[in-house]
Amino acid sequence: MGYYDEPETLDTTVSFTCSECDYENEGTEVSVYVTDDSAQDVECVTCGHLNTVSLDTEHCYCGDYCRC
């Protein structure tokens, strides 16, 4: 039986409304640590404002248990 090392980071996409200009960003790619519950400094494509985006329902990972 093989041994699986959980990756330290994962790549995912997020969709969010910019807190500065209210533009709805769709499918923005981010790389986050698997233990993070938010992505920091996600740039809005319209105004360039850096947003914090919640990942509560944006990705899944398995560690000691699975969480989605």
Residue 1 domain flag: no
* Per-residue model confidence (pLDDT) at position 59: 46
Can you give the pLDDT at residue 34? Answer: 85
Domain membership flag for residue 28: yes
Instruction: Look at 33 and 3; give whichever has higher pLDDT.
Output: 33
Q: Which residues contact 18 (CB under 8 A, 6 or more apart)?
A: 24, 25, 44, 46, 47, 49, 51
Which residues 6+ apart lie within 8 Å of 49 measured at CB? Answer: 18, 19, 20, 21, 43
First to last CA, the chain: 26
Q: Which domain holds residue 52?
A: 9-67
Please give the biggest Cα pair distance in the chain. 51
Q: Is residue 19 part of a domain?
A: yes
Beta bridge partners of 13: 29
Q: Is 32 a member of any domain?
A: yes
Query: Which pLDDT tens digit goes with each residue over 11-66?
Result: 999 999 999 999 999 999 999 998 889 999 999 999 999 999 998 754 455 555 55
Number of compact structural domains in the chain: 1
pTM of the model: 0.69
Q: Is the pLDDT of residue 6 over 70?
A: no
Determine, yes or no, domain membership for 13: yes
Residue 2 lies in a domain: no
